[in-house]
């Protein structure tokens, strides 16, 4: 009988079969819709077979491995057949909820495991709490696992993330040659799929201006990588680093910097409709949004500038 390998290995191999990089997710949805219409099954527009983004795959893999580690520790699970049980997922989600995970985090874990199990998160019997604005606490408070991360051992990457707003995959794949200086001494990073390969969610190309207070640190990381002969700036990015919180700090610092530079010409032509009526400069929001690799300024306001 062939060896199955460790549970972690089985999870990774199973998720690898869902990789659809370079394929059209839109086309896959159209095919799914046609199949459902032909068979008379109700179509779920949010459900599609496969994972089409590298960053989504990395995120889902991390979540599923954590689920497997928990199941192995608590119930001695060693194979996929034993792991892929709805009642086990229900127990895990209840455990995560007890640990203090937010409604957004619980929904993310449910979606990742549902993709892994080829089902809907509604099949687990877990009542996902409503995701209201006042309940958003992603990267805003200390979680039970934060104490396991050493700031000193990860200081260079953490500061780099705060100064650039890069995603986790972008930090992992960043090449020294992507970091450049202009004639004014500004340091910037180029994300370009054609030149450097796919590194970003959705493959969006963009230029990121490094925050002034971080340009020396970012440039030194480039120099260090070149001197060490590394093909990437960092050897490894610890998966416990809360990259979203670093992107959030970057967004806030970048917005404030641009607002200060705009001075008397600063506008308040964008306001929220969540009851707070906070006001922002729409033009600055677009710049910050582009730097973070997002298309919609509503995402920046709701998840980064709150």
pLDDT (mean) for 181-195: 92
Alpha carbon dihedral 26, 27, 29, 32, in 10-degree steps, equals 180
- Cβ proximity of 32 and 48 under 8 Å: yes
Extract the tokens encoding 212: 């002034």
Assess whether pLDDT exceeds 50 at residue 147: no
pLDDT of residue 142: 42
Assess whether pLDDT exceeds 80 at residue 265: yes
Assess whether pLDDT exceeds 90 at residue 172: yes
Q: Could you please report the per-residue DSSP string of the chain?
A: ------HHHHHHHHHHTTB-TTS-HHHHHHHHHHHHHHHTPPP-TT--SSB--HHHHHHHHHHHHHHHHHHHHHH---SHHHH--HHHHHHHHHHHHHTT--HHHHHHHHHHHHHHHTS-GGGG---PPP--GGG--TTTS--TTGGGS-TGGGHHHHHHHHHH---HHHHHH--GGGEEE-TTS-EEEEE-HHHH---SGGG--EEEEPPGGGHHHHHHHHHHHHHHT-SSS-S---TTS-HHHHHHHHHHHHHHHHHHHHGGG----EE-SSSS--EE-HHHHHHHHHHHT-S-HHHHHHHT--
Determine what percent of the chain is predicted with pLDDT higher than 70. 90
Sheet holding 206-209, edge to edge: 179-181, 187-191, 206-209
Domain spans of the chain, in order of start? 7-137, 148-303
The residue ranking higher by pLDDT, 86 or 54, is 86
pLDDT (mean) for 18-36: 84
- Cβ proximity of 48 and 114 under 8 Å: no
Q: Report the C-alpha gap between 23 and 36 in whole angstroms.
A: 21
pLDDT tens, residue by residue, 118-137:
998 989 999 998 755 554 55
Assess whether pLDDT exceeds 80 at residue 76: yes
Q: What is the CATH number of domain 7-137?
A: 1.10.150
Q: Name which of 23-27, 147-151, 287-291 the model is least confident about.
A: 147-151
Q: Residue 230: pLDDT band by 50, 70, 90 thresholds?
A: very high
Assess whether pLDDT exceeds 50 at residue 35: yes
């Amino acid at each position: 009988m062939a060896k199955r390998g460790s549970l972690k290995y089985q999870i990774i191999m199973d998720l690898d079969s869902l990789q659809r990089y370079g394929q059209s997710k839109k086309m896959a949805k159209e095919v799914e819709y046609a199949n459902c219409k032909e068979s008379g099954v109700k179509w779920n527009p949010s459900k599609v077979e496969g994972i089409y983004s590298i960053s989504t795959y990395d995120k889902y893999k991390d979540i599923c491995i954590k689920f497997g580690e928990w199941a192995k520790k608590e119930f001695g699970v060693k194979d996929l057949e034993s792991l892929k049980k709805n009642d086990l997922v229900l127990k895990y989600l209840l455990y995560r909820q007890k640990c203090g995970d937010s409604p957004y985090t619980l929904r993310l874990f449910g979606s990742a495991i549902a993709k892994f199990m080829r089902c809907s998160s509604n099949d687990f019997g877990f009542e996902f709490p409503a995701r209201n604005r006042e309940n958003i606490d992603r990267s805003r408070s200390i979680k039970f696992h934060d104490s396991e991360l050493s700031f000193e051992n990860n200081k260079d990457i953490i500061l780099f993330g705060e100064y650039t707003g890069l995603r986790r995959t972008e930090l992992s794949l960043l090449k020294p040659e992507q970091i450049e200086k202009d004639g004014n001494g500004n340091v910037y990073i180029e994300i370009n799929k054609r030149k450097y390969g796919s590194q970003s969610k959705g493959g969006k190309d963009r230029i990121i201006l490094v925050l002034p207070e971080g340009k020396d640190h970012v440039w030194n990381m480039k120099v260090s990588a070149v001197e060490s002969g590394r093909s990437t700036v960092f050897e490894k990015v610890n998966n416990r680093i809360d990259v979203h919180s670093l992107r959030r700090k970057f967004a806030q610092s970048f917005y404030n910097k641009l607002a200060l530079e705009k001075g008397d010409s600063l506008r308040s032509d964008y306001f929220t409709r969540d009851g707070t009526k906070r006001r922002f400069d729409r033009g600055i929001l677009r710049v910050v949004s582009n730097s973070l690799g997002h298309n919609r300024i509503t995402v920046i306001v709701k998840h980064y500038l709150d």
